Copies of this chain bind each other. A is one copy, B any other.
Amino acid sequence: MKIKELGERKLVNAFLSSLKLPDGVFPLFDDTQAFTLGNQLISFKIDTFVFSTDRPKALAAYDVGWKAITAVASDMAAKGASPYLFMCSLSLPGDMEEEDAISLENGMNDAASEYGGHLIGGDTGEAQDGVVAISGIGLHPDNIYTPRTARVKIENGDIVAVTGNFGYTSLGLNYMLGKIHLDDPILSKALEAFRKPKARVKSGLALSNLGAKSSMDSSDGLALTLSELSRLNGLDVEIKEMPIDDDLKNFFETNYIDPTSYVFYGGEEYELVGIFPAAAEPKLSEFGFRAIGFTNKGTGIIKYKDTVIGNKGYEHFK
């Protein structure tokens, strides 16, 4: 079977299943892999941005660099790590202008600084597609890794909380692809969300103090992220409140748009989705989290009011 018929998730899972982690390196299916050196727990990660599948033509080279670093920083944040060092592999199309390559590099450098890290080296060459691979090393200040599969048993009534707003990124993407018309303030917010997402490093560093039992980066979309956490932990999740702001709520209402597909199936939000003990609720907002629902023992069913939210989301090629 050809790769394009397989789909990205099957390809990644087949690859990860072929690996054997040495003693002290864990976990295989998570946002980062971690290991200890001396007394320091370290997260190690690589992630890839491909022009032909990830870049709308209207997305500036600077934004490509920003997003590529943000994707890695977000995975680190979701595990409770602080981004430290980044390396990049830049394979760029031969007809790309030098000034665009420099913009891309500036985007990477600025994003690395934004997250308290540093881009310290890399490799640059030409390819028939643009491929930006970012590798990162993050440090866990308290040596705690917040995994997808809960590190503390999840109870009925634990809180599901997220950072930020969902829905803007897929509006921004659809606008850039010329599929929808938008006006301010939605337009500005949607473009900002898609072009310059922010990894939630500060929220991530608060996960262990908040007693987070489980956490995951939402870059594949809120529905897929919730489904994955539910499946791994034997849960159902009941969503009480959609994570959107008032502007977006008004926009959906005014235009008679069902927000579900934008909010749950959008992707590229780079927000954190965590499961917390009920006792953490009063402190969540201080660290950028908002409760959106709660857990029950179950079989991976995600419900918003009476709607079952399917296990689907953003995936390349399928």
Binding site for B on A (CB under 8 A): 1-4, 6, 8, 11-12, 14-16, 18-22, 25, 28, 32-33, 35, 37-40, 42, 44-48, 50, 52-53, 85, 87-98, 101-102, 105-106, 109, 118-129, 131, 133, 135, 137, 139, 316-317
> Are A15 and B85 closer than 8 Å at their CB atoms?
no
The listed residue (B6, B94, B139) touching A317 by CB distance below 8 A is B94
A123 & B37 in contact (Cβ 8 Å cutoff): no
Q: Is A98 touching B3 in the complex (CB atoms < 8 A)? A: yes
Contact partners of A96 in chain B: CB under 8 A: 2-3
Q: Let me know if A44 and B91 touch, CB within 8 A.
A: no
Name the B residues within 8 Å of A98 (CB-CB): 1-3, 6, 14
Give the CA-CA distance A101 to B88 in the complex, in Å.
Answer: 23
Which residues of chain B are near A135, meaning CB under 8 Å?
Answer: 44, 46, 87, 89, 133, 135
Contacts of A90 in B (CB 8 A): 15
Provide the bound-state CA to CA distance between A114 and B39, in Å: 28
Residue of B nearest to A113 (CB): B20
Q: Is the CB of B118 within 8 A of A20?
A: yes
Residues of B within 8 A of A124 (CB): 8, 11-12, 15
Is B42 within 8 A of A37, CB to CB? yes
Using A52-B127, A122-B15, A316-B125 as known contacts, say yes or no to A89 and B8 having CB atoms under 8 A apart: no
Cβ A137 vs Cβ B52 within 8 A: no
For A32, A42, A94, A135, the residue with the greatest tally of chain B CB atoms inside 10 Å of its CB is: A135
The 6 A-B residue pairs with the shortest CB-CB distance in the complex, in nearest-first order: A38-B38, A4-B94, A135-B135, A89-B133, A133-B133, A128-B129
- Residues on B with C-beta less than 8 A from A125 are 8, 11-12, 48, 50, 53, 316-317
Question: Which of these, B4, B97, B126, B137, contacts A53 with CB under 8 Å?
Answer: B126
Contact B91 A131 (CB under 8 A): yes
A126 touches B317 (CB 8 A): yes
A16–B124 Cα gap in the complex (Å)?
Answer: 9
Which residues in B have their C-beta under 8 angstroms from that of A137?
A: 44, 137
> Contacts of A50 on B, CB cut-off 8 Å?
91, 125-127
Find chain B residues with CB under 8 A from A18 CB. Answer: 102, 105-106, 109
17 sampled A-B residue pairs with Cβ under 8 A = A3-B94, A4-B126, A11-B92, A11-B124, A15-B101, A25-B118, A28-B120, A45-B87, A46-B88, A46-B121, A50-B126, A53-B126, A53-B127, A91-B131, A128-B129, A129-B131, A133-B133
Bound complex: CA A11 to CA B94 (Å): 11
Given A46-B89, A87-B46, A133-B89, answer yes or no on A37-B37 (Cβ-Cβ < 8 Å): yes
Interchain CB contact under 8 A, B95 and A3: yes
For the complex, what is the distance from the CA of A121 to the CA of B136, rounded to whole Å? Answer: 13
